[in-house]
Amino acid sequence: MNAVDMELKVNGINYKLQVKPWRTLVEVLREELGLTGTKKACNEGECGACTVLLDGRSVSSCLVLAVDAQGKDIQTIEGMSDGSKLHPIQESFLKHGGLQCGFCTPGMIMSAKALLDENPKPTLAQTRKAISGNLCRCTGYQHIIDSIMAVAEKGGI
């Protein structure tokens, strides 16, 4: 099947692309747009490494066809910082040791953003639930939870 014309809005920028209709959003972000901050690991919705926001909702971008993301506001880790200034969630992960190898980190941060945008003062249980779809092989999760809770304690984002 031939590539089709599509338009994606990522981090506020509109991109016009020609993409085969079966390609997933994570593939298009990484391979067509060069936005490699979004990671691809399991490719079947199990690990959360590919988490991005679609109209503010966290989704596994390996389970979304790029064509279906048209007309939506797509946010990736690349859109979090303001130039060289890190987003408060990113700062908090650094400060509280919320990352080690960093592979899960973009997905974790996007899940944290979706949570804190909707609920600036989440409980511990709500925070745990919000990242329950994101696997981390390194940290044991406690420092990740601490990083997110610290942002909430400072009044959210």
> Which residues of this protein are in contact with ligand FES, per CB under 6 A?
40-43, 45-50, 60, 62, 99-105, 136-139
Q: Considering the complex, state which of residue 54 and residue 138 has its C-beta at the smaller distance from ligand FES.
A: 138
Smallest distance from ligand FES to CB 151, Å: 18
Instruction: Identify which of residues 7 and 46 has a Cβ nearer to ligand FES in the complex.
Output: 46
Least distance to ligand FES, CB of residue 42, Å: 4
Q: For the purposes of burial, counting CB atoms within 10 Å of the CB of 113, is it exposed (0-12), middle (13-18) or buried (19 or more)?
A: buried
Listed residue (23, 21, 6, 106) closest to 58, CA to CA: 106
50/89 with CB nearer ligand FES: 50
63-89 exposure pattern, b = at least 16 Cβ within 10 A, e = fewer: ebbbbebeebebbbbbbbeeeeeebbb
Rounded to the nearest whole angstrom, what is the least distance from the CB of residue 118 to ligand FES in the complex?
21
Q: In what order do the strands lie in the sheet with 13-19?
A: 13-19, 4-10, 73-75, 51-54, 57-60
CB of 94 to ligand FES, least distance (A): 12
Nearer to ligand FES, 121 or 137 (CB): 137
Q: DSSP per residue over 133-150, as a string?
A: T---SSS-SHHHHHHHHH
Sign of the alpha-carbon dihedral angle for 74, 80, 82, 87: positive
Closest CB to ligand FES among residues 21, 102: 102
CB of 134 to ligand FES, least distance (A): 8
